[in-house]
Amino acid sequence: MRTRLLAALCFLLPSLALAGDARCKGTPKARAARFSDKALKGKSPAERYAEYVKACALDEVVDITQSLVRFKTVSSEQPAAKSPEVAAMRRFLEKWAREHGLGFRAVGENDVFELAWGEGEPRLGLVFHGDVVPAPAHEWKKPPFEPYVEKGRLYGRGVEDDKGPLASALVAISLAKELGLSPRQGKVLVIIGNGEESDWSGMQKYAETQKPHPTHVISVDSDFPVVAAQGGFVAWQLEAELGIAPAQPTAGRMRAVDVTAGEFLTQVPGAAVLKLEPAGLAPDKALAAVKDAVAAVHKARPSLQAEVKQEGTQVVLTTHGKAVHASVAEEGHNAMWDLAAVAAKLPLEPNGIEALLGVVASRFDGDHWGEKLGVAYQDTLMGRLLVAPTVLRVKEGKVSLSINMRRPQGKDSATFNASLDEAAALLSRDSGGRVKELKAVKGGEGGRYVGDPHVADTSGPLVTTLLDIYKRHMNEPEATPTSVRGGTYARLFPRAVDFGPAFPGDLYTGHAPDESISLDNLDAVTRMVAEALHTLALTPPAK
């Protein structure tokens, strides 16, 4: 009976909160009274809670999300321990926890925040991250840390990844408390790491030292229906010496003096820029040569978007692509590929920029799967290895290329590392020994990182419970557990899974310019997280 009634609630029209449900007006105490046992006679606590969340949660979720987005918590620019923005977010969350009767503590130097509800051993852990990736203002239509709602979508850096989902959990808990519900099998933890987009060490230490772990751990930082497997995260870097320009320019050739592509390791470049000196060409001939190369490439790939202009003595080539999260690289368009394709048709003097662009053109361009590198493989559940060159830079006399890979199960670490060794040797041969793998140096900078895939129990109670919730809410009875290439904090906890916030078929914007989430989706996330909270932690133990 309970299942049928909850299912009926799931298929009501979109959230009444969107139309302004009159029952949600007034103080929390007043509105909760309208969903009490007395007001909704004959309905179970689960049904009343589901109706309360459906009617009243969304506006509060949007409000809290906007408050969280205003904290510029870019972990790659400033670690949690030194970030005044993370400290300010801590004060906000601590105040919120205190006002709602929850415990709060910071673990490490603001590395992890933990909100606790209830007593006893931890039963349910809801895991999020409070840090975000960079948001270059020039890529955004509006300031990325000034959130706004437009045409049914909430915009701002972090609204999808991962501050909107965090707000959903906070509101789910606050509404449960307002109805007088409480954990019945152990306490509920909301666990917020502040280095997910850069340095995981804080959350890694938390997972290693804070025992016992909750019986059930859910990260809301990936996809629906239920993510039971995650690809292994790989960071691989190549480099070449820039080289000293010859005393006499080489007749008929131009010189690459700078190159820039990408913003960070986990985003496919949306733009790439190559700066050229005419060197052994007359300036007008250099400009014409670059324009001719662009025209030639455009014939083969009509989607090419490129600009060529003269700045002083230099010719500047810019290519435009579509920036997306590196874990879904095939959904975007890598601007670095196009830049390398044009550069391959130019008469360039040999140097480090020319060498690395040549490697991109010959071994990466047009290939998401590592076929050209000789590293491709796939798994039935987790799919194919993904390979994405994401950052190209010149610094201190060296040119570096950063590559992000997402690897499935099917090869152990030793075998996979051996394939990278062979790929590095291949690229070195291709470039006459100029391109090499960047090895780790003292202090830990550079080097290769190869993470292992994470796989949960697809037939266990956590996966089956969440899958049942998703099937009913979304009316998708054939939904099955899935795998993603992205890596979330779920992989730090045994048997942990991800449950949203991204829906199948929707473009994920979490690392892209103009990050957004639809209000309908944010509402659905909140309702499903709330039911998971109730089912896994607020119901009495089975007798």
What local confidence, expressed as pLDDT, does residue 2 receive? Answer: 32
Question: Per-domain residue ranges for the chain?
Answer: 2-231+453-538, 232-450
Given a contact cutoff of 8 angstroms between Cβ atoms, the answer to whether 216 and 441 are in contact is no
What local confidence, expressed as pLDDT, does residue 9 receive? Answer: 37
Q: What is the mean pLDDT of each run of 10 residues along the chain (543 residues)?
A: 35 44 94 95 96 98 98 96 98 98 97 97 98 95 98 98 98 97 96 95 97 97 94 95 90 96 94 96 96 98 97 96 93 97 97 98 98 96 94 97 96 97 97 92 68 90 97 97 89 94 91 95 98 94 63
Write phi, then psi, for 32 (nearest 5 degrees): -60, -35
What local confidence, expressed as pLDDT, does residue 446 receive? Answer: 63
Give the residue from 235, 315, 316, 234 showing the smallest Cα distance to 271. 316
For residue range 61-113, what is the model confidence (pLDDT) as tens digits?
999 999 999 999 999 999 999 999 999 999 999 999 999 999 999 999 999 99
Give the bridge partners for 483, in sequence order: 229
Given a contact cutoff of 8 angstroms between Cβ atoms, the answer to whether 165 and 528 are in contact is no
Q: Could you tell me the fold of the domain covering 232-450? A: Alpha-Beta Plaits (3.30.70)
For residue range 312-353, what is the model confidence (pLDDT) as tens digits?
999 999 999 999 989 999 999 999 999 999 999 999 999 999
Rg (CA), the chain: 26
What local confidence, expressed as pLDDT, does residue 485 receive? Answer: 87
DSSP letter for 534, please. I
In three-state secondary structure terms, 38 is coil
Enumerate residues 6+ apart whose C-beta is below 8 A from 203: 111, 112, 129, 193, 195, 196, 489, 492
Task: Show the 3-state SS of 413-442.
Answer: HHHHHHHHHHHHHHHHHHCCCCCEECCCCC
Distance CA 191, CA 203 (A): 9
Distance CA 430, CA 423 (A): 10
CA triplet 505, 508, 514: central angle to 5 degrees? 135
What local confidence, expressed as pLDDT, does residue 4 receive? Answer: 30
* Cα 17 → chain centroid: 28
**Sequence-separated contacts (24+) of 336-339 with Cβ below 8 Å:** 336/261, 336/262, 336/269, 336/272, 336/360, 336/364, 336/389, 336/390, 336/392, 337/364, 337/365, 337/366, 338/272, 338/297, 338/301, 338/304, 338/305, 338/306, 339/259, 339/261, 339/272, 339/273, 339/274
Distance CA 439, CA 427 (A): 15
Enumerate residues 6+ apart whose C-beta is below 8 A from 174: 28, 60, 100
What angle in degrees, to the nearest 10, is found between the helix axes of 45-69 and 2-10? Answer: 40
Q: Could you tell me the fold of the domain covering 2-231+453-538? A: Aminopeptidase (3.40.630)
Enumerate residues 6+ apart whose C-beta is below 8 A from 84: none
